[in-house]
């Protein structure tokens, strides 16, 4: 699972692992800054008083142009190449340290080089190296850059990746079709999918034998992680434990939880064995082990959105079968069956379910084709 570390040690989730987020207290996606030219430029001193280093930076003269910087005492040395203006670099570093870094962080310049017509500043922040880009006149600072060639390659790879099936005849057939629905418990559209599945099962109880709900997330230091934080992660684990050890309580609990998210009330009203549930959640050989199986499947199919449907080990789109409604779920399962199932001629509701928490099946807020990424 992807995470970006903020200044206070908490994590926000993204699709891929990224560098720690040092810039700005709330990690805003700020990529372009106009810089002013202050009268004085300050280079921060090294904070580690236990280590004293004497640096001699020697830049060999080739073709007549190399710049060098040095450091004495505790001041930081700047390795400047390709004719970069030292004052311009100091200006940018001063601006970054004063205005952009989260509390408790400071930047040091490891090196400067010219790249594609701008200066690339390699900064050391909290033992991590991150790069920013500065126009040669020192007026515009870019906190990130996109390599167009690499980006195009990535997009092409994604476009050439597995495509969701949207036709019945394209689904692989199985004697025992299995529909896996990947969700997270506090995503509005994950709740929507659970509501649809629950409604389908209430209409045709046999469908429960062909449906499994699995959860998106990851494990770090034996702790479950989820895209919307700790509360969601624990709710995911709670539902996983119910699914594995108190199966008959899973859908009654979820049906109650989807209304207002009242965990304690729903555990009590649905008769969940709370002692057994707590034991499962705290025992890493049970809860975390169950969760890891979900995450392994998630990684196998490169699941990155809640909800995502898999039928017979293939990605499938509910929108090719009528959208997010019970009838579409039934059709997908029936299309995945080698032999016609007894309930396939039965028609279910085509009404789209409410997204997020709702006391009713439909409230006019379906969210159409949205998902949590």
Read off the pLDDT of residues 43-89 as tens digits, 9 standing for 90 and up.
Answer: 233 333 333 333 333 233 223 333 333 333 333 445 665 567 888 88
pLDDT in tens, 289-304: 999 999 999 999 999 8
For the cut 70, the answer to whether the pLDDT of residue 262 exceeds it is: yes
- Cβ atoms of 121 and 110 within 8 Å: the answer is no
What is the DSSP secondary structure assignment for residue 44, as one 8-state letter? Answer: P
Q: State both tokens at 150.
A: 């690499």
Classify 168-335 by CATH class.
Answer: alpha beta
Q: For the chain, where do the domains classified as CATH 3.40.30.10 start and end?
A: 168-335
Instruction: Rank 58-62, 98-102, 218-222 by mean pLDDT and report only the highest.
Output: 218-222
Res. 241: pLDDT tops 60: yes
Which pLDDT does position 366 carry in this prediction?
62
What's the pLDDT tens digit per position in 324-343?
999 999 999 999 999 999 99
**pLDDT at position 264 over 60:** yes
Q: What is the pLDDT of residue 18?
A: 37
- Label residue 365 by pLDDT band (50, 70, 90): low
> Rounded to the nearest 10 degrees, how much is the dihedral formed by the CA atoms of 150, 31, 19, 22?
170
- Strands 308-311, 223-225: pairing is unpaired
Q: Residue 173 above 90 pLDDT?
A: yes
Asked if 373 and 305 count as a contact pair (C-beta separation under 8 A), the reply is: yes
Looking at residues 264-284, what average pLDDT do you find? 97
Nearest 5°: the CA angle 211, 220, 243 is: 25
**Angle CA 210–311–250, to nearest 5:** 40
CA gap 163, 40 in Å, rounded: 56
pLDDT band of residue 12 (cuts 50, 70, 90) is very low
With b for 16 or more beta-carbon neighbours within 10 A and e for fewer, the 122-160 pattern comes to ebebeeeebbbbbeeebeebbbeeeeeeeeeeeeeeeee
> What is the rounded distance in angstroms from the CA atom of residue 337 to the CA atom of residue 174?
5
Does 116 score more than 60 pLDDT?
yes
Q: Please, are residues 22 and 131 in contact by the beta-carbon 8 Å criterion?
A: no
Q: Where are the beta strands (DSSP E) in the chain?
A: 2-5, 11-14, 32-34, 107-115, 118-125, 128-134, 140-142, 179-183, 211-215, 218-220, 223-225, 308-311, 314-316
Q: Could you give the CA distance from residue 72 to residue 75 in angstroms, rounded to a whole number?
A: 6
Residue 118: pLDDT band with limits 50, 70, 90: confident
pTM for this one?
A: 0.60
- Sign for the pseudo-dihedral over CA of 293, 297, 300, 304: negative
Q: What is the mean pLDDT of the chain?
A: 79
């Amino acid at each position: 699972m992807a995470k970006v570390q903020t200044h206070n040690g908490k994590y926000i989730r993204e699709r891929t692992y990224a560098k720690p987020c040092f810039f700005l207290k709330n990690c805003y996606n700020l990529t372009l800054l106009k810089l002013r030219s202050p009268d004085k430029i300050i280079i921060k001193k090294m904070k580690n008083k236990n280590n004293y280093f004497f640096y001699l930076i020697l830049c060999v003269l080739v073709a007549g142009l190399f710049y060098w910087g040095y450091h004495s005492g505790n001041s930081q040395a700047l390795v400047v190449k390709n004719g970069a203006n030292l004052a311009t670099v100091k200006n940018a570093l001063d601006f970054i340290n004063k205005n952009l870094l989260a509390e408790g962080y400071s930047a040091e310049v490891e090196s400067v080089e010219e790249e594609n017509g701008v200066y690339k500043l390699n900064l050391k922040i909290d033992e991590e190296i991150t790069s920013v880009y500065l126009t040669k006149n020192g007026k515009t600072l870019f906190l990130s850059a996109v390599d167009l060639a690499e980006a195009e390659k990535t997009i092409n790879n994604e476009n050439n990746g597995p495509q969701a099936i949207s036709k019945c005849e394209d689904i692989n057939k199985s004697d025992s079709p299995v529909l896996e629905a990947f969700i997270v418990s506090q995503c509005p559209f994950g709740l929507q999918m659970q509501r649809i599945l629950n409604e389908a099962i209430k209409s045709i109880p046999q469908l429960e034998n062909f449906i499994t709900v699995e959860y998106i997330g990851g494990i770090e230091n034996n702790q479950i992680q989820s895209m919307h934080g700790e509360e969601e992660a624990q709710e995911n684990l709670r539902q996983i434990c119910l699914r594995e050890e108190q199966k008959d309580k899973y859908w009654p609990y979820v049906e109650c939880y989807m209304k207002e998210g009242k965990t304690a009330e729903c555990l009590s009203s649905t008769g969940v064995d709370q002692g057994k549930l707590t034991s499962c959640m705290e025992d890493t050989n049970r809860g975390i082990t169950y969760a890891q199986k979900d995450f392994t499947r998630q990684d196998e199919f490169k699941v990155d959105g809640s909800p995502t449907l898999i039928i017979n080990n293939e990605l499938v789109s509910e929108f090719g079968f009528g959208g997010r409604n019970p009838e579409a779920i039934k059709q997908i399962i029936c299309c995945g069956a080698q032999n016609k199932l007894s309930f396939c001629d039965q028609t279910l509701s085509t009404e789209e379910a409410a997204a997020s928490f709702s006391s009713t099946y439909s409230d006019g807020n379906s969210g159409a084709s949205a998902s949590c990424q």
